[in-house]
């Protein structure tokens, strides 16, 4: 009987997700930054938000402010204000600050986010090929040291990987390790883990295996990954040539309890159900699927004492 109830609890949870990566176009336009970019009207934005917010299987989601796209401080602040207002339309939405380290007013955007009590930060590195180099590291440190220390928070960011300069990649991995050690109270989420940055994910997973007491505050967020596999010779592989089996093992080695589900809807993935369907048929057990889709996110939120 107990076993039966336990199993029922798990299969019930399998239908629930917590999405740690959702966008909303407060300006009604979508910058040409992704391969699926297109113009979006304010009405489409609103409809999209409502379809996400009303999804019965979704319990909570991070709603990212795209203030980081603005080169003007007033416009960036307005984006944060807008995302806070939009998030008030759903108890499921958790509004998240957006900061670009490309613009010198990043500290002012941070102070604005803190005054609005936005939860956590998405830090944008400036362009699609950005690496965690010395300049980016010093600006992230400059942001992190100004965060309130009494509660945990998170920084979500998307790192890429150099295909031409291995030294830059070594430096980037070292910088990420340094960040995670310098700020143990901050949870670092690597967005799109495995997409655009497969070698970086491989390097930190390898480092973790050799240093299992470290990197505990680094999470891998999987938006876009489960949407990027295609079948070649009876095997699912990404466009960069990494197999599903490879990522499953990497996640096991890194710790499946630090793998998060994110949809990136609707910048790269207008229909997040497709990703969930792929994930639920990708060889993970029901319990492991529940971890990625839900339990890890819930634990993550609890650790932030929201
Ligand atoms: Zn995104």
User: For the segment 172-224, what is each residue's pLDDT rounded down to a tens digit?
Assistant: 999 999 999 999 999 999 999 998 888 889 999 999 999 999 999 999 999 98
**Domain ranges within the chain, ordered by starting residue:** 2-303
CA angle 83, 120, 127 (to 5 degrees): 75
What is the distance in A from the centroid of ligand 1 to the CA of 257?
Answer: 22
Report the separation in Å between the CA atom of 214 and the middle of ligand 1, taken as the mean of its atom positions: 27
Dihedral-angle region of residue 20 (phi above 0 means left; psi in -120 to 50 means alpha; beta otherwise):
alpha
Q: H or E element: which one contains 273?
A: helix 272-279
pTM above 0.85, yes or no: yes
Q: How far is the CA of 128 from the centre of ligand 1 (A)?
A: 11
- Separation of alpha carbons 89 and 306, rounded Å: 18
Distance 191 CA to ligand 1 centre (A): 8
- On average, the pLDDT of the chain sits at 87
CA torsion 203-206-212-218 (nearest 10°) is 30
Distance 263 CA to ligand 1 centre (A): 8
24-28, 126-130, 220-224, 297-301: which has the minimum mean pLDDT? 126-130
Q: How many CB atoms lie within 10 A of CB 222?
A: 28
305 C-alpha vs ligand 1 centroid, how far in Å?
24
pLDDT at 133: 92
241: left (phi over 0), alpha (psi -120 to 50) or beta: left
The predicted-structure confidence for 253-292, as pLDDT tens digits, reads as follows 999 999 999 998 877 766 677 888 899 899 999 999 999 9
Distance 213 CA to ligand 1 centre (A): 30
> Could you give the percent of the chain with pLDDT greater than 70?
88
d(CA 267, ligand 1 centre) in Å: 6
- CA 159 to ligand 1 center in whole angstroms: 12
6 Cα–ligand 1 center, Å: 35
Q: How many angstroms is it from 188 CA to the middle of ligand 1?
A: 15
CATH architecture observed for domain 2-303: Alpha-Beta Barrel (3.20)
């Amino acid at each position: 009987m107990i076993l039966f109830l336990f199993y029922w609890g798990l299969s019930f949870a399998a239908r629930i997700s917590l999405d740690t990566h959702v966008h909303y176009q407060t300006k009604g336009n979508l910058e040409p930054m992704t391969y699926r970019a297109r113009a979006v009207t304010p009405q489409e934005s609103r409809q999209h938000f409502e379809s996400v917010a009303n999804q019965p299987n979704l319990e909570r989601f991070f709603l990212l402010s795209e203030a980081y796209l603005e080169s003007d401080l007033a416009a960036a602040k307005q984006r944060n204000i807008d995302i806070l207002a939009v998030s008030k339309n759903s108890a499921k939405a958790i509004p998240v600050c957006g900061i670009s380290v490309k613009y010198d007013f990043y500290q002012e955007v941070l102070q604005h986010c803190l005054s609005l009590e936005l939860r956590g930060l998405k830090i944008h590195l400036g362009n699609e090929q950005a690496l965690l180099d010395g300049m980016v590291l010093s600006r992230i440190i400059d942001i992190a040291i100004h965060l309130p220390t009494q509660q945990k928070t998170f920084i979500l960011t998307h790192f890429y990987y150099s295909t031409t300069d291995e030294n830059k990649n070594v430096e980037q991995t070292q910088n990420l390790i340094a960040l995670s050690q310098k700020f143990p109270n901050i949870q670092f989420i690597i967005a799109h883990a495995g997409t655009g940055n497969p070698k970086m994910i491989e390097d930190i997973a390898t480092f973790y295996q050799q240093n299992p007491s470290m990197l505990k505050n680094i999470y891998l967020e999987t938006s876009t990954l489960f949407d990027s596999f295609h079948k070649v010779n009876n095997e699912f592989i990404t466009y960069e040539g990494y197999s599903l089996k490879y990522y499953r093992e990497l996640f096991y080695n890194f710790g499946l309890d630090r793998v998060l589900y994110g949809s990136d809807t609707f910048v790269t993935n207008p229909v997040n159900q497709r990703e969930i369907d792929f994930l639920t048929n990708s060889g993970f057990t029901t319990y492991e699927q529940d971890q990625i889709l839900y339990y890890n996110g819930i634990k993550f939120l609890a650790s932030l004492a929201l």
